[in-house]
Amino acid sequence: MDFYHSVHLDSSLCKGCINCIKRCPTQAIRVHNGKAVIKNAFCIDCGECIRICPHHAKQASYDSLDVMNDYEYKVALPAPSLYAQFNNIDDANIVLRALVAMGFDDVYEVSGAAELVSEMSRKYVEEHPEGKPFISTACPTVVRLVRARFPNLIDHLLPFNAPVELAATLARKRAMKKTGLPSEKIGVIFISPCPAKVSACKQGLGIKQSDVDAVVAIKEVYPKLLPHMTYNDDFETDYVRSGRIGVGWGNSGGEAGGLLTDSYLAADGIENVIRVLEDLEDQKFGELDFIELNACSGGCVGGVLNVENPYVAQAKLKKLCKYLPVARNHINGEYLERAFWDEPIEYTPVFKLGKTFAESFDKMQTVEILCAELPGLDCGSCGAPTCKALAEDIVRGEASVNDCIFVLREFFNNQQ
């Protein structure tokens, strides 16, 4: 299956340096003929290449704010991390009223749906002790990573859609009831902190059809909100519908906090996430109820579509939470069907060398031989991140051993 990827390359800006190939956690990028190429099957939309690219050639796609013109009634779904972009916010209403002032007809906080997911997660973990430890599925990058690389952990994934999906469905329902408009005239627009969530809303795992109509970036909305945050006639309306548990989801550890258990770990930053998954697969740690994983450092506040420094944003979000009640959304003991995946997530070994075991076996033998021949400097000059990655590219028929400048030099030396 080919995925929609928000993360992409503007090759006109690419200088063909090797920063991105070295940084990519799934070794999804090569430099060929002086330009980077992203192997779509390997890419998990984590955004690391966007962070590292000195030429801004790696970018994220998302919808333009003009998408608001396509709908008669527009509902904004702000991610909790949006609140953390501004200074001195002690009431999320300041941000939510500004969203209305900039042109949205209503707002539905993703944090509100997150509280419902927290309650359902609590119930689910309690009712399924055999599945422990459960791995959080709110970060789409983590879900894609597990799907491609950790077959033995798929059964541990918490089978819930990310809160934004539930928020979209509930927001649409509310808007239809309030306005009497048909679904297609209502635009449910998510304000996202990262490209992975853009990709997930366009083509998510576990979900057949997203209820999110468009995804815009926090960094695009940010400058539009600023002028509306000083004074607002509409200071009476209270849009805030969530508490500390929901808003806390923006920070690493927030989702786990909503589970009200001490038996958890929360890891953030893609390299740390991979390490936890590797160790978890090897059963290196004892009994835990829950594993919260966020691809970005600091959690969603660390997403590449944010404006504020992730750790400053974390502090701001904590400060905002201080004044909120614990939670304001409850499920009354019943699961909401929309919260669950529509279909199971299946292991998709995209990193395999050949189609069958026999073919991969032969290719792995060749990889071992090639690795012994290559210099082992991992210099990246061939366009692959490591000598081993080059060897794998060679057996896949995507590169040649002469792409290695050291092998080539020796070849010429021997000719003379």
The burial of 276, by beta-carbon neighbours within 10 Å (0-12 exposed, 13-18 middle, 19 or more buried), is given as buried
Contact segment (CB under 8 A) with other proteins among 25-33, 50-58, 89-97, 352-360 equals 352-360
Pairing of strands 58-60, 35-38: unpaired
Total of residues contacting other proteins (CB under 8 A): 27
Q: Which single residue is written with the structure tokens 């080919």?
A: 2
Binding flag, residue 278, other proteins (CB under 8 A): yes
Terminal-to-terminal C-alpha distance of the chain: 49
Query: Site residues for other proteins, window 353-412 (CB under 8 A)?
Result: 353-358, 360-365, 368, 392
Which residue of 56, 128, 319, 352 would you call a contact of other proteins, by CB under 8 A? 352
Which residue of 311, 323, 351, 411 would you call a contact of other proteins, by CB under 8 A? 351
- Nearest distance in Å: CB 345, other proteins: 14
Contact segment (CB under 8 A) with other proteins among 227-235, 315-323, 347-355, 397-405 equals 347-355
The token duo for 248 is 């806390």
- Alpha-helix residue ranges (DSSP H) falling in 152-249: 163-179, 195-202, 218-225, 244-248
Contact segment (CB under 8 A) with other proteins among 21-29, 96-104, 183-191, 282-290 equals 282-290
Cα dist from 408 to 75, 383, 394, whole Å? 59, 14, 15
Which residues does 240 contact at the CB level (< 8 Å), separation at least 6? 91, 92, 93, 96, 109, 324
Binding flag, residue 149, other proteins (CB under 8 A): yes
Binding flag, residue 69, other proteins (CB under 8 A): no
Closer residue to other proteins (CB): 231 or 357: 357
Q: Which single residue is written with the structure tokens 């009640």?
A: 325
Give the CA count within 13 Å in the CB-facing half-sphere of 285. Answer: 16
Give the three-state DSSP class for 293: strand
Which residue of 33, 87, 88, 283 would you call a contact of other proteins, by CB under 8 A? 283
Closer residue to other proteins (CB): 323 or 361: 361
Report the alpha-carbon distance of residue 27 to residue 58 in Å, rounded.
15
Which residue of 66, 233, 282, 346 would you call a contact of other proteins, by CB under 8 A? 282
Q: Which residues bind other proteins (CB under 8 A)?
A: 149, 151-152, 278-279, 281-284, 347, 349, 351-358, 360-365, 368, 392
